[in-house]
Structure 1
C-alpha cells in the first residue's frame, strides 16, 4: 500500500506488522483501543517462513475471528512422527487433545499474515508502510517515535513486535540473554515425492543433524535441516542429497519453490517492559525452529498483551508471558540437542529409550500437549 500520513497521537504504537504485530492490532481493534501499526517494509511477507499453527494459537484466532479463513487455506495434520533413517522411534497424535483444534495446521506465514490483515481491515484498521522507526524516546507521560522520514508519533505506550533486532528493545535498554547454535539451518519449500506421505510431520534424526519434513498446501513440503554450513539458496540437487543422506530412499525432489539459510539463537529478553515500552514475539524471545513454536508464541503474546491493554492490567503481562517464553526456549533447545547428538553411544541410548517412552500414553499425551501449547492458556 502507499504510505499514509501518521496521526499525531495514539494510545498504543505497534512497531512491526508481522504475525505478532497484526494479532496485537486485531486484538486492540476488537476492544476499541486506539493504536497505530507501523512497518518498515513496503509490503507484507510473500514467503512462507513460519508454517505451523498449533492448537492454542488457533483457539486465540477463534476469538479474533481469523481461524476459519486460515483453516480454509491450510492443511490439517494430526500426527507427528520421529524417525532415525527408516526406523520409526515414536508417533504422537494430536487427536483427542482437549481443544476444538486437535491437530496442527500447516500454512505459509504469508497466508497467516494475509488473513490477519484482512481481519484487521474488516475492523477498520490498517498498516502504515513503509514507515521505519529511527528514534524512540520515552518520558513519564508517553513515548515519541520519530520515523526515518522525520514524522513523529506520540503514544502513551509503544510495543516492539519488530523481531530479534528490535529497535524498541534497544531503546528500552532491555538485555537479550542467551546464545546461538553453532550450526546453520537450511529452509526450503519443495515439490517432491515423499514416501511417508502427507499425513504427518516427520522429525528425522541423523548424526549429521536434524531434518524436519512437513507437508504444505498445494502439494509442497517444508524442509528444515541443521547443517554445518548451509548454502545461501539451496537448490533441488542440494535438498535431494541432504534427504538421501539423512532419510535414504524416502524422497525424490522435483523442484525448490523457495529456500534460504539462517542461524538460530536461543534468547529471552531480560524483561518484557521498561516503563512505557513493551515487547512481544521475536523481540522478546527467539529459539530453535524444532516444534514450530516461534510464531505461535508470538501471536499468543500479542493476544495476551492486547487483552491486558483493554482491561488495564499491563502489570500482569510480563508475569504471564515471560515464563512461557522461557519454557518454550528450554523445550525447543532440549528437542534440538536430543535430535543432534553425534556420538554413537548417545545416539544408541536415545534410540533405545525413545521407543520405550513412546509406548507410554502419558508421555505421548504430555509431549503432544507441549507441542500444541495447550498448557499456556
Structure 2
C-alpha cells in the first residue's frame, strides 16, 4: 500500500488508478503537469479481467514508454476466428495491419497496470491508496474532493477514471445513456486442452449464446461467455458443461485460476466534460466485451486527455474521444447481437454470409476496426 500523505492541492486530480487513470497520469507526468491519482483499493487488482491489448493501444503505450515491457509479458496473436461449434466461418487476420504492431497482444490486465505503474514511478509519480472519494464539488476556481475519511484535496480539474459507477460523473450531473444486456457474462481463466489451439482468439456462436476463448501467458485460456443466469463464481464443472454444449468435443478443462459473473451494459456518457470535471474510460463508456476493446479505448482516452491538458486544448477532448466510444459501442453491440441471436433464420443467414465475406475486403476491415487503427 502507498502511504504517501495526501497533498492539499494539485492541478489535476485523477480519480481511479486503473489502466485509464494510469495512462493519463503517465501522460501528465511526461508533460510536467502536477497531478494526484486517487484509488479506493488498498492495492491494485490481481485478477486478469481485460486481457486484450490492440495495436492502436500499443502505439499509445510506445509514446508513453511502456510498450516494450508489456509486449515481453504477453502472447502475440495474428488471427481472430469466428466459428459455429467446430466449423470455422471467418478468419480475421491482424498480420497485415498498417502498424508496427500487426497483432493482438494477450496479457492479463494486472500486467498492463503493473507496467504503467512502473513507468509512472520512473517519472516520479505514484497512486495514492486507499483514498475513496466521497464527494466532488466544483466552483468557478477549482474542484474540492472530499475523501471518506474527511480529508480534502483541492484541484484545478478533476477526472473521473473511476468506472461505470463513477462518483465524478454523478457529481458532474452527466447522463449515461444506454441499457443493459439481458444475459449475464461468465469470465474465467482456466487450464484446458483446447482443439483450436493457442495461436488464435476463437469466437464461437451457439444457440445457447456467445463464447470467446483466448490464450493467455502461462498456458491459461480466457473464457468469456453469455449465460442466461450464471452462478456468481462459476466452478470448473460449470465451465466444462458450458464448453461441451457450445464447442462439443473441443475442450477438456483441467484447472481454474479464477472466475466471475458480471452484467454488461452498453452506454456512453452524454458529455465528457462539465466545466472542470472530465470523464475517461469506463466512467465515459461501457460495452460488450466482444472484441476486447474496453480497456483499450480507456487507455487511449487517458492519453488523449493528458495531451489535451499538456497543450491547453481541453475543449477538443470530447469532440475527439466521444465519437470513438459511440463507434465502439455500436460495433460491439452489433457483434454481440449477431453472435447471440436465437432466431433460426438469422443464424442460418449469418452462417452462410460470413464464409462468403472471407473472400472480400471485410476481414481486413474488421481487423482494422478491432485494432482501433481507424481512431488515430
2:190 equivalent to 1:190: yes
1:337 and 1:2 map into 2 onto residues whose CA distance is 43
Residue 140 of structure 1 corresponds to 140
**Any residues of structure 2 matched to 1:145-156 within 5 Å, and which?**
145-156=145-156
Residue 325 of structure 1 corresponds to 325
2:9 and 2:149 map into 1 onto residues whose CA distance is 17
Gaps of at least 5 residues in structure 1 are none
Gaps of at least 5 residues in structure 2 are none
1:142 and 1:358 map into 2 onto residues whose CA distance is 54
Contact 1:3 1:131 in 2 (8 A): no
2:235 and 2:195 map into 1 onto residues whose CA distance is 20
2:320 equivalent to 1:314: no
Residue 23 of structure 2 corresponds to 23
Deviation at 1:294, TM superposition (A): 0.1
Contact 1:131 1:148 in 2 (8 A): yes
Deviation at 1:4, TM superposition (A): 2.4
Give the match's secondary structure for 2:348. Answer: helix
Contact 1:191 1:255 in 2 (8 A): yes
2:94 equivalent to 1:94: yes
**Any residues of structure 2 matched to 1:42-57 within 5 Å, and which?**
42-57=42-57
1:269 and 1:344 map into 2 onto residues whose CA distance is 35
1:52 and 1:338 map into 2 onto residues whose CA distance is 21
1:83 and 1:61 map into 2 onto residues whose CA distance is 32
Deviating above 6 A after TM superposition, structure 1's stretches of 4 or more consecutive aligned residues are none
Residue 179 of structure 1 corresponds to 179
2:134 equivalent to 1:116: no
1:345 and 1:358 map into 2 onto residues whose CA distance is 21
Deviation at 1:36, TM superposition (A): 0.3
Residue 219 of structure 1 corresponds to 219
Q: CA RMSD in A?
A: 0.6
Please give the per-residue CA displacement for 1:206-231, whole angstroms capped at 9, x wherever unaligned: 01100000000000000000000111
2:157 and 2:345 map into 1 onto residues whose CA distance is 53
**Any residues of structure 2 matched to 1:273-292 within 5 Å, and which?**
273-292=273-292
Residue 58 of structure 1 corresponds to 58
Residue 372 of structure 2 corresponds to 373
Deviation at 1:284, TM superposition (A): 0.1
Give the match's secondary structure for 2:218. Answer: coil
2:2 and 2:275 map into 1 onto residues whose CA distance is 33
What is the TM-score when the length of structure 1 is the normalising length? 0.99
Give the match's secondary structure for 1:314. Answer: coil
2:121 and 2:270 map into 1 onto residues whose CA distance is 34
Deviation at 1:54, TM superposition (A): 0.1
Deviation at 1:345, TM superposition (A): 1.2
1:38 and 1:189 map into 2 onto residues whose CA distance is 29
1:337 and 1:359 map into 2 onto residues whose CA distance is 23
Count, aligned residues = 376
